[in-house]
Amino acid sequence: MIDLITTEKVTYTTPPDAAALGALRRLEALWAIEEPSEEQMAEMDQLEDHLPTVREVRLMLRSATALDAAKYEGRRARMVEWFETETGRPVAEVLEEENGVTRNALAQIFEQAQSWAVVMTVLVQIEQRTRPLHDDGVEWNEAEIPAEWKDSPEAFLAWCPDDLLVAALDAAKRLSPGVWGIPDPLARRYGGVNVTTSVPFSGR
């Protein structure tokens, strides 16, 4: 049977500090020189030797299957229970709108928790590595997805940077627009489900 699953990988790199950015700007200027002098070559070596290491995490997400819809609903129910316990507020009250604008800042926490329910439903792999800032050739090491991430939003959201969460959610929506997003009209013409209505079958 043809495999219908597609995947995307989302990478997060710890941002360099101000000193590292200054060194990188100088290095890029030196790298642009077609025939650097010996002094410039020595400066490049010195700058590269003192660049810090960065930590990276890479998440692999896959497109949702029919079974994932049920898993998501179960996870979302746990998310709502966690949210109401943590905040002491009913979800319906938090999400009330006034003049079209969500009036309670707790709505942001709810949205992040809801993102957790989506991402964790289709997260299939996590990899990590530490590498020199200027060296992208270091191998990735697969890490086990922590069990506590799967149970409630708290542990995952306490670990996950906000921009990584946003990128992972966007990837999940791209992979399964019919489940967690509004399908692009053009994409629907070339992919997804297409139902054709035929004339009644005559039996001949």
Asked whether residue 31 is domain-assigned, the answer is: yes
Cβ proximity of 20 and 52 under 8 Å: yes
**Is residue 143 domain-shared with residue 116, that is, in the same domain?**
yes
pLDDT of residue 132: 86
Rounded distance, CA 126 to CA 118, Å? 16
Asked if the structure places residue 137 within a domain, the reply is yes
Mean model confidence pLDDT for the chain: 84
3-state secondary structure of 123: strand
Q: Are 117 and 79 in contact (CB under 8 A)?
A: yes
Question: What pLDDT, on the 0 to 100 scale, is given for residue 97?
Answer: 65
156: in domain: yes
* 68-89 residue pLDDT tens: 988 899 999 999 999 999 988 8
Residues 106 and 21 occupy one common structural domain: no
Same domain, 35 and 134: no
- Helix extents (H) in 90-190: 91-94, 106-122, 147-151, 153-159, 162-175, 177-180, 185-190
The pLDDT of residue 143: 97
What is the predicted pLDDT for the residue at 120?
A: 96
Confirm whether 192 is domain-assigned: no
Angstrom distance (rounded) from CA 130 to CA 58: 12
Amino acid code (one letter) for 182: I
- Per the domain annotation, does 30 fall within a domain? yes
Q: Are residues 75 and 102 in the same domain?
A: yes
Domain that holds residue 31: 17-51
- Laid out side by side, the sheet with 53-62 consists of 7-13, 53-62, 123-132, 141-143
Instruction: Please tell me the predicted confidence (pLDDT) of residue 200.
Output: 52
For residues 94 and 70, membership in a common domain is answered with yes
Answer yes or no: are the C-beta atoms of 78 and 142 closer than 8 Å. no
> 201: Cβ–Cβ under 8 A, 6 or more apart, which residues?
none
Specify the pLDDT at position 105: 77
| Cβ-Cβ contacts under 8 Å for 56 (sequence gap 6 or more) | 11, 12, 13, 14, 128, 129, 130, 131
Number of structural domains, the chain? 2
Alpha-carbon distance of 100 to 104, in angstroms, equals 12
Are β-strands 123-132 and 97-98 bridged in parallel, bridged antiparallel, or unpaired? Answer: unpaired
Same domain, 85 and 140: yes
pLDDT at 136: 83
Report yes or no on 187 lying in a domain. no
Which residues of the chain fall below pLDDT 70?
A: 97-103, 181-204
